[in-house]
Every structure is written in C-alpha cells, then in structure tokens.
Amino acid sequence: MPESTLDIVIRDTLSRIKPSREERELLLDTFSRIKDAIISCSSSFNMRRVVEGGSVAKDTFLSGDTDLDIFVQIETNTKKTLEKFTYLTAECISKKIGNCKYQIAYAENPYTRLFIQENGKIIEADIVPIAFASNYEELKKALKISGMARTPFHTEYAQKNLTESMKDEVRLLKYFMKQKRIYGIFGFTGWLCELLIIYYKKFLNVLHNAKNVVNLKIDLLGRFSEDEIRAKFPHDKIIIIDPTDPDRNAAAGIQGFVGEIYLKRFIKSTELGLKEPKKLFEPIRPTGNIMVKFKIKSVEKALKENIITSIGRVANNLYRNLIKWEYVIEDLYILHDPPQLYLKVNPFSKEYDLLVGPPIKLKQAVERFKEKHKEHEIIIKDNRYYAKVPPRFPTAIDAVKYTLSMIKLKLFSDYSILDLSKNY
C-alpha cells in the first residue's frame, strides 16, 4: 500500500530530528565526566547518587539539543545543605572538567549551570542538588525541601514505560509542540509529552484526539476515578495525575489564560496539520498588533525559564485588566531572546465606553443620570440606562500602557510598546 503524504512527512521529519549515534555518545560521555567531577568535589556532603535526568536520560531528546540535566541526591533535612552544595562545588567541578565556564543559577534553590565546549559545540549542563528519596513515602518529605526531588522518579517511570518506537513518537510530539510555540513553560513539557505517548501510544493518536487531550482527566495507574480526579484539581482544565506523585497534576503548567491560548493553538495547529500534512510541522511565526519589548535588570538572573515565566505573568495580568475595558487578547507569543511579548488584541480601538446607569423604573435616578450626561448619547439596554462616554482608553495600546505601568516588573528594568497594527 503506497505511503500517504502524512506518512511521508512524518517519516522525513523523524529522520531529521532523531539524534545520531555520535550525538548520543558525546552527551553520555560528557555526563560521565561531569559525574566523576561531582563525586570528586562532594566529599563533604552526604551524597547518595548522581542521576542523569531529562530527555537525554530517557532518550527522547531531539537532534541538536545539547542540554543535560543532572541531579545530585543528597541526604539532608534542610534546604541550606543544597544551597551550600552549589556554592562550594561549582568552581571545583568546572575546573575538573576543563574548557568550561559556570554560572550560579536560581530556581527554588541555587544550582550550577555549566557551559562546556565539546567538538565545536557548547553543551549546557544543569547540576541540581535535591533531597534524596528512595520511595514515595520518603519523596513526600523530600519535596518539602526541594520540588525537583521527584524528577529521578520521572526518569525511571519513562525508562520503564517507553518502548524504542514510542521514544520516536515522543520526539515527533515534542518537535510539533516546539514548532507551534506551545512547548515548555505554560505549555506541553517534555514530561507531559512522554505521558501522552504512554497513554495514546502514537504521535498521530494524540493529534486525532486533540479535542479530548485538552480536557483529559486521567490517572495512568488507575488510582483515582474521573470524579476523584476532578475533585483533586477542580480548577484545572487538563489533568494527568503524575504517576510518581498522586498529589500532583503533571499538566499543572497549562493553566491560566496563557495556558488556554496554548491549548487553542494546539487544537487549531492539529486540525490544520491533519488537513494539510505539508503544514504539520511548519513553524509558527510570532504575530500580533502590539509588541512589548522588555529590558532585563540583571543578566546573571536572566535565565530562559525566568524570562518566560515573568513575561507569562505579565500576559496573564494584561488579560485580567484589558477584559475590564472590553479589550480581548485573542492570541499571544512569548519570546525569551530577546524578551518580547506579541499580542493580538481586539477590538484594537473604541469609539466610546458604556457607562452603566440606573434601571428604567428608578425615575428620579434616571433624571439625574440624564442631566449629568446630557452631552452624551443615552441608550436603553436590558431595562437599564447607559451613557456613551469618551473611552478611558481609546486604543488597545493605551490600555496596555496603563496596565503595564501598574505591574511590578521584578526581572525587567524597563519596557517599550510598539504598534504593529499597520503591519498586521
């Protein structure tokens, strides 16, 4: 039976995004060297294991991705131990590896980010100290010290449940999400893509079930019914109970307004890709009628994750305020390098605001309202009077400017707003 256009597109895409044997060996060798350096530099800590995590450990990474996630499990009852580990070992580890620079990065606790030159490439490796746990009961305690303590359990679960063919299906799904700009923070994480493939088995099954995906309420281990799942996370739209932690929604990041935008884009991109296979993996270009450029305060703290999270919070804040003034954000794109936020806001301009007046039956109040607004057009709607008054914010840019002026921007020192409506 001849291959369909869709089959050919998927086959050709997989051949481009699947890492070569040389890429795998380079990353595995680099991990081994980092592990040796960590062990050598950590004698003063009660270290239990050095664990490779992330997509490299699960063999679901894409060709060209050179990031390593390394977790150092330390037996401790306090977060301070994890902080000390990073500050006391970072330079030692960097020197032992050689041809390497390091940076102290910050999430819930400090960690070391290495920049290693290998074969003309820069490999970024995050060394994250976490509290040691050998089972779920210990994990509950460890999570109080470090939220990343569950990550080694994620790695073990994926390694046990992903077949070789399923790993390629994960690659296709991750690549699709990245091309449509809905991957990562506020969107579909690598871990979530892996769980979706474990559930649906194939990339195409995920696409064909897109409308079901955005409303999923499942527990892969069958510990809870759908009603129990809803009760655990009543405010979440998509819920996949974390196989390693029954108290966590693995899709917790896809919530709020930005998450809703990403889920809508997921469905729209899926429908278009299935209808026109040649567009399945076509990258989406950021567009909008307003762009906000942000200026970073501290380069040291300007990690990709922090920038995206901060801009996402700004977007959520803008949505909550703009809707009060009848401006609706229909789409958005978050960029981290350089830090930018593209917005599609409609309506883009307003002729008037509707000022709420009294109900028709309150005769005296109606007369006072009419007198006060005798220069404005008065209308009746749903048995109530309204006055058409000059808009507080005549254009969406006016509303965006005002809202941004009221937001405290911790990571950014300044911003500028550009009107893209003429080019849109």
Please say which residue of 284, 319, 339 terminates a domain.
284
pLDDT of residue 2: 65
For residue range 126-155, list pLDDT tens digits in order: 999 999 998 888 888 899 898 899 999 999
pLDDT of residue 300: 62
Confidence of residue 410 (pLDDT cuts 50, 70, 90): confident
Residue type, 58: K
Confidence of residue 159 (pLDDT cuts 50, 70, 90): very high
> CB of 74 within 8 A of CB of 48?
yes
Domain of 314: which CATH number? Answer: 3.30.70.1230
Q: In the chain, how many domains are there?
A: 4
Whether residue 177 sits in one domain with residue 133 = no
Look up residue 417 and give its two tokens.
């707003």
Confidence of residue 121 (pLDDT cuts 50, 70, 90): confident
Global confidence as pTM: 0.91
pLDDT at 256 over 90: no
- Domain extent at residue 277: 162-284
Whether residue 400 sits in one domain with residue 326 = yes
Whether residue 125 sits in one domain with residue 49 = yes
For residue range 209-241, list pLDDT tens digits in order: 999 999 999 999 999 999 999 999 999 989 999
Q: What is the pLDDT of the chain when averaged over all its residues?
A: 93
Residue 2 lies in a domain: no
pLDDT at 1 over 80: no
Cα distance between residue 195 and residue 191, in whole Å = 6
Residue 13 lies in a domain: no
Domain of 190: which CATH number? Answer: 1.10.1410.30
Could you tell me how many residues make up the chain? 424
Domain of 67: which CATH number? Answer: 3.30.460.10
Residue type, 298: S
Whether residue 343 sits in one domain with residue 408 = yes
For residue range 287-301, list pLDDT tens digits in order: 999 999 999 987 666
For residue range 364-391, list pLDDT tens digits in order: 999 999 999 999 999 999 999 999 999 9
Please say which residue of 114, 148, 182 terminates a domain.
148
pLDDT of residue 36: 95
